[in-house]
Amino acid sequence: MFKTVKTALFLGLCSQIFANDSDIIGGDITILDKDSPRFLLGRQTHINMKFVPKDAPDMWFKAGVRIQGTLESKRVDYNDAAKADTTTQDAYLRRVRLEIGAGFGKHASFIMDIRNDKSNYGIENDEGQFSVGDAYVKIKRPFDTTLVNFKLYRAKIDVSRTETVKSAFVIDYDRPYVADAAAQFISLNRRGANLQMYGDWRKKVHYQIAFGSASSPKKILDAAGSKAADSTLDDQSFFYGGKVWFSPFDGWEEKKRTETYFGEGKHLEFGVGYWLVPTIKGRVTNGGASAPFDLSRKLLNLEFSAHYHGAFVQAEYFRFDDAVKVWDPLKNGGNIETGTSEGWYVTGEYVFSDFYYIAPFFRYESWNRFKEADGYDLTSTVLGVNWYLRGNSVKVGANYQRDDFGPETGDRKVDYFRITSQWFF
């Protein structure tokens, strides 16, 4: 009897100790998306694993990874018979990222990632370098309304819908050329240090306005696809601008910027964005030749997207003002000539949700990189299929891409065949 009482007291004391310890160090840990459909390998995960302490439920910590791998065969056929055609095969990590986040209370949080994209890319098998991608403080609903939110520091400005969608949620890991150009035209990687305000009204109307650090000429490609190798800046202003997009029909509201819906729900939206850098002045030099430039960059972006259960379509139009024809003064009579660049793309996907979430997709792109002269055209066609084994958490795919570059943009045809994979949680 005495031993039984001692045993009971001992077990009760242990349970109390562990209960108290749980209050101190234990909390909720979540990763699975309870609203996700069931894929072949189970439900997909949320963005990163979330840890919530019991003694401070308004605070949290998130951590996760994103890995995209590519096997690629590339053939280049030059239109100039004097140039030898090439075929290369490559295996590389399209994106490698460590993502972390922290919530400081009801309204404030911090998000960042460290990345080494295109690791082992090319015949040089370059390891690449680690860099910081997103790194921003988000202040959510400080006035208890969805109309007003803020992001500070390195957060994306919405120069393009497909560039704003998280790369884990895009259909094709390699975005359209014209969209990638927009990502550099106004602000470095569309996330140079900035301050932005954004919000929505009943998911019907969304907006974003921002200003911040403008991109350097050394990151802006000219119409021929080259950068300003040796340039100096004398005067550069902040960028500023904004975007607004609408979902006019009840029940068709866009609630999340993504390209992958897995055959569920429906949405329809269209939007317009306008961004500018009023002043960029400097000088570019090459081979002893030097020329000044005085730019006022403007970017117009129109977007449309919709999905109905398994069917998805997205299209965007871009117009770049004060695009540079050739950065090299030796190739343009000692001058830096500017003009207009204009392009668009359309992409679509159909998800067979009743057949293991296999999803064929396509994309077509047309870009006139310098309208004031001939030969600066680029077209690109992509056909492929994705297999969502666990939504965006685990997926594999294959695609074929044909790029046709005009006489002034490389004068060649390039064929790619890729096998892709993604692990994201």
Q: What is the pLDDT of residues 58-112, one digit of tens each?
A: 899 999 999 999 999 999 999 988 889 999 999 999 999 999 999 998 899 999 9
Question: Is residue 1 assigned to a domain?
Answer: no
> Considering its fold, how many domains does the chain have in total?
1
Question: Is residue 4 assigned to a domain?
Answer: no
Question: Is residue 18 assigned to a domain?
Answer: no
Dihedrals phi, psi of 80, to nearest 5 degrees: -85, 115
Note the Cα 20 to chain centre separation in Å: 44
Instruction: Please report, for the domain that includes residue 124, its CATH number.
Output: 2.40.160.10
Q: What is the pLDDT of residues 224-251, one digit of tens each?
A: 888 777 778 888 999 999 999 999 999 9
Question: Is residue 15 assigned to a domain?
Answer: no
Across the range 297-325, mean pLDDT stands at 96
Whole-angstrom distance, CA of residue 391 vs CA of residue 358: 11
* pLDDT grade for 119, boundaries at 50, 70 and 90: confident
Q: What is the pLDDT of residues 262-307, one digit of tens each?
A: 999 999 999 999 999 999 988 888 767 788 888 999 999 999 999 9
Evaluate if residue 171 carries a pLDDT over 90: yes
Helix (H) or strand (E) run with residue 5 in it: helix 2-25
Evaluate if residue 25 carries a pLDDT over 80: no
Question: Is residue 3 assigned to a domain?
Answer: no
Q: What is the pLDDT of residues 391-404, one digit of tens each?
A: 999 999 999 999 99
The DSSP call for residue 213 is P
Closest of 420, 417, 407, 425 to residue 83, by C-alpha? 407
Question: Is residue 355 assigned to a domain?
Answer: yes
| Residue range of the domain that includes 73 | 24-424
* Concatenated DSSP letters of 129-167: --EEEEEEEEE--TTSSTT-EEEEEE----S-HHHHS-G
Q: What is the pLDDT of residues 173-198, one digit of tens each?
A: 999 999 999 999 999 999 999 999 99
Whole-angstrom distance, CA of residue 205 vs CA of residue 3: 71
Across the range 327-344, mean pLDDT stands at 84
Question: Is residue 11 assigned to a domain?
Answer: no
